[in-house]
A and B are shown apart, each in its own frame.
Chain A
Amino acid sequence: AQKVTQAQTEISVVEKEDVTLDCVYETRDTTYYLFWYKQPPSGELVFLIRRNSFDEQNEISGRYSWNFQKSTSSFNFTITASQVVDSAVYFCRSNYKLTFGKGTLLTVNP
């Protein structure tokens, strides 16, 4: 089955540490899309990024960066110099059947 795997259930870091959240996907399609969402304690999921299968360029947005590697079927998310406000559940998603990974709970401690 095509699916998304987030192997890290919970991660805890100290503020200013860098942290990488892993996402591994399975697909038989040549064209596909991958997404990351953030769910803060308030509950509402917030869209962070979309990547299509033809664009393997890494993306950087402030302290956030994403590494898309088709060779390893991974779409990993790195937060540089983490802050307490980064504490949230982060979900990776593919466009196959609107499937989400199970999420990674990130806790950034002061």
Chain B
Amino acid sequence: DVKVTQSSRYLVKRTGEKVFLECVQDMDHENMFWYRQDPGLGLRLIYFSYDVKMKEKGDIPEGYSVSREKKERFSLILESASTNQTSMYLCASRPTGWEDTGELFFGEGSRLTVL
């Protein structure tokens, strides 16, 4: 079975801290994604990566950056956390190429609270 693992289920950080959210998948998928989920807003795409060292902005990249140094790992970075980044963050991976015809495999999510 495909496994997408997010390093932390729950995090509490302070405003201004640098935050790393880690995601690892074990099925050699090329594509990886970071979403945030907020009540009433659904899932919104932050960044995605089609391959190692490649990244593309999603719909809401402001305040975030990402890193994909290895195929299996995709990190989301909050350079200076703010309270409006309190949210549930979901990582996903997918085995297809450029054409989006495949299902996404999701991790269990990381609930971040910024105080």
Chain A contact residues, CB within 8 Å of chain B: 6, 9, 33, 35, 37, 42-47, 50, 52, 91, 95, 97-103
Q: Once bound together, how far apart are the Cα atoms of A42 and B109, in whole Å? A: 9
Q: How many residues of B contact A (CB 8 A)?
A: 24
Given known contacts A33-B101, A97-B59, A42 and B108 CB-to-CB distance under 8 angstroms: yes
Whether, in the assembled complex, B74 has its beta carbon less than 8 Å from a beta carbon of chain A, the answer is: no
Contact flags (1/0) for B81-115 with A, using CB distance below 8 Å?
00000001010100000011111111111000000
Query: Min CB distance, A14 to chain B, in Å?
Result: 24
B40 touches A102 (CB 8 A): yes
Closest CB in chain A relative to B82 CB, distance in Å: 23
Whether B101 contacts A47 by the Cβ 8 Å rule is no
Q: Bound complex: CA of A103 vs CA of B88, how far in Å?
A: 15
Contact flag A97-B108 (CB < 8 Å), given A9-B40, A33-B100, A102-B40: no
Residues of A within 8 A of B102 (CB): 50
Q: Are A98 and B48 in contact (CB under 8 A)?
A: yes
Q: What are some 5 contacts across the A-B interface (CB < 8 A)?
A: A9-B40, A33-B100, A43-B90, A98-B58, A102-B42
Instruction: Let me know if B106 and A44 touch, CB within 8 A.
Output: yes
* Docked pose: A14 CA to B104 CA in angstroms: 31
- Chain B: CB-nearest residue to A45: B106
